[in-house]
């Protein structure tokens, strides 16, 4: 029976630690690097509203489903899906969903590590005052020269992967838990310091208006797709991370309560990041929709011109590294647990194998910014292809099938038992959402993504 299952990898010491860990998985580069620039590209406030709706109607129900599946299976995502499918009298081929999640996390970490390496490099640059007094053209030259140097990108990518595997190799209690206990409070403190600085600028109100005043004429079908893809990306859905973290969750913890706490914390961080970044952007006459370079090209201009800019710039990039680190450890954990369970590896060996493989694939992202920059597939570089494939296809499809598995494959009593709803009201709200509303929404937006329908 499910009640008798125990994870061989350990268990979180408390519900609060799980909230920290899952929030750490959710709060990453997606919140601080990606959310501000995609908000800028898609018109500001209207995009934020669509994003919040995606979190509420799609993200939260699927996160609850993924956590309950993980806790009931108490194994790696691959083995959990096979075990629960057989328990429900269905085909063991459902383990392919677990494989998809592990692969998605693996692919994301391979390029995520490279971007995190950029942030680590910028900690050193900002701390040494490199950006002080420089204009946009000079900083663009620094960034372009950095991307054109595979040796530098290779070094920082390697260092970040070593940091990640150091934590994961130490296990659940000594590694993952200790890391998030330090990283998450530090991340929130750093972010609040930056918001405090943004409040002192003359464009703080302008930044708030851009972030929270909706103009729905700027929302397109592609913008809806980006919002949904980012909801999956930022909540770490469909990539095995939340499922494996759920497998370490104590049986007494409320899945609904922890999910809402995680979703709220993740959303607050994304909005705080926007509140910190956009006032600095506007006060310096910069462009909020400047794409992925917003953090690494646009903000250093501001940090280089403002009082104590070297200090606040360094704090910002440390924040970015911490956010990336807390997410990265969750992305590799599903692959490590599978190697331990299925191949009898020691945890250290499993970390070395999975870490090296991820690092090796990340070299492709390193090269996509320089020696492979002209090599494209479907008009996309290696990095762009991985980013699009994971965020807009693999994660939404993974989330769709997680919802279908929880609502249509697992027995209703088993789902209700795992969620622990004492009253039926909560279950009557969540079950139709995850059974009908969420899958339909994902399918509609996904069909628009592949061009089968046109949302405008």
CATH number at residue 15: 1.10.4160
The whole-number pLDDT of residue 1 equals: 42
Query: What DSSP state is assigned to residue 335?
Result: H
- The structural domain count of the chain equals 1
Query: Does 456 fall in a domain?
Result: no
CA distance 197 to 311: 11
The whole-number pLDDT of residue 148 equals: 95
The whole-number pLDDT of residue 309 equals: 83
Query: Does 455 fall in a domain?
Result: no
Distances (CA, A) of 159 to 67, 115, 120, 295: 31, 12, 9, 21
Mean pLDDT of the chain, nearest integer: 87
Quote the pTM value: 0.89
Does residue 423 carry a pLDDT above 70? no
CA distance 40 to 264: 22
Distance of CA 161 to the CA centre of its chain: 16
Query: Does 435 fall in a domain?
Result: yes
By residue range, what is the domain housing residue 211?
2-449
Query: Does 454 fall in a domain?
Result: no
Query: Does 120 fall in a domain?
Result: yes
Query: Does 213 fall in a domain?
Result: yes
The model's pLDDT over 94-130, given as tens digits with 9 standing for 90+, comes to 999 999 999 999 999 999 999 999 999 999 999 999 9
Query: Does 255 fall in a domain?
Result: yes
The model's pLDDT over 359-388, given as tens digits with 9 standing for 90+, comes to 999 999 999 999 999 988 888 999 999 988
HSE-up (13 A, CA, CB side) for residue 209:
5
Does residue 288 carry a pLDDT above 80? no
pLDDT over 90, % of the chain: 43
- Residue 148 and residue 360 in contact, taking contact as beta carbons nearer than 8 Å: no
Number of other CB atoms surrounding residue 454 within 10 Å: 8
């Amino acid at each position: 029976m499910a009640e008798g299952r125990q994870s061989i990898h350990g268990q979180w010491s408390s519900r609060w630690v799980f909230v920290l860990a899952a929030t750490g998985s959710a709060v990453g580069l997606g919140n601080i690097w990606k959310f501000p620039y995609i908000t800028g590209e898609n018109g500001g406030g209207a995009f934020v509203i669509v994003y919040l709706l995606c979190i509420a109607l799609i993200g939260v129900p699927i996160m609850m489903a993924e956590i309950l599946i993980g806790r009931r299976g108490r194994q790696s995502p691959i083995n959990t899906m096979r075990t629960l499918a057989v328990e429900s009298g269905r085909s063991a081929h459902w383990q392919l969903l677990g494989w998809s999640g592990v692969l998605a996390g693996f692919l994301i970490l391979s390029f995520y590590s490279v971007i995190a390496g950029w942030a680590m490099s910028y900690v050193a640059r900002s701390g040494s005052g490199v950006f002080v007094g420089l204009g946009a053209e000079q900083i663009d030259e620094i960034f372009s020269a950095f991307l054109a140097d595979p040796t530098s990108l290779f070094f920082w990518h390697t260092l970040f992967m070593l940091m990640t595997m150091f934590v994961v190799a130490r296990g659940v209690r000594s590694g993952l838990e200790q890391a998030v206990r330090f990283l998450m409070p530090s991340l929130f403190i750093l972010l609040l310091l930056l918001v405090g600085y943004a409040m002192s600028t003359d464009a703080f109100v302008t930044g708030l208006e851009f972030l929270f005043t909706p103009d729905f004429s700027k929302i397109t079908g592609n913008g809806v797709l980006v919002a949904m893809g980012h909801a999956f990306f930022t909540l770490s859905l469909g990539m095995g991370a939340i499922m494996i973290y759920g497998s370490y969750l104590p049986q007494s913890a409320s899945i609904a309560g922890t999910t809402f706490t995680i979703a709220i914390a993740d959303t607050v961080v994304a909005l705080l990041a926007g509140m910190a970044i956009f006032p600095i952007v506007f006060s310096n006459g910069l462009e909020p929709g400047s794409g992925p370079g917003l953090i690494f090209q646009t903000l250093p201009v501001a940090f280089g011109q403002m009082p104590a800019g070297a200090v606040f710039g360094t704090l910002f990039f440390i924040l970015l590294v911490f956010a990336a680190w807390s997410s990265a450890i969750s992305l590799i954990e599903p692959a490590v647990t599978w190697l331990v369970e299925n191949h009898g590896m020691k945890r250290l060996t499993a970390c070395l194998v999975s870490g090296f493989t991820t690092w090796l694939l990340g070299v492709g992202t390193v090269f996509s910014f320089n020696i492979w920059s002209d090599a494209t597939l479907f008009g996309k570089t290696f990095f762009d292809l991985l980013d699009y494939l994971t965020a807009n296809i693999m994660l939404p499809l993974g989330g769709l099938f997680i919802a279908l598995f929880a609502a249509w494959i697992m027995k209703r009593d088993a789902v209700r038992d795992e969620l622990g709803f004492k009253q039926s009201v909560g279950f009557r709200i969540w079950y139709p959402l995850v059974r009908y509303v969420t899958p339909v929404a994902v399918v509609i937006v996904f069909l628009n993504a592949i061009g089968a329908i046109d949302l405008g």
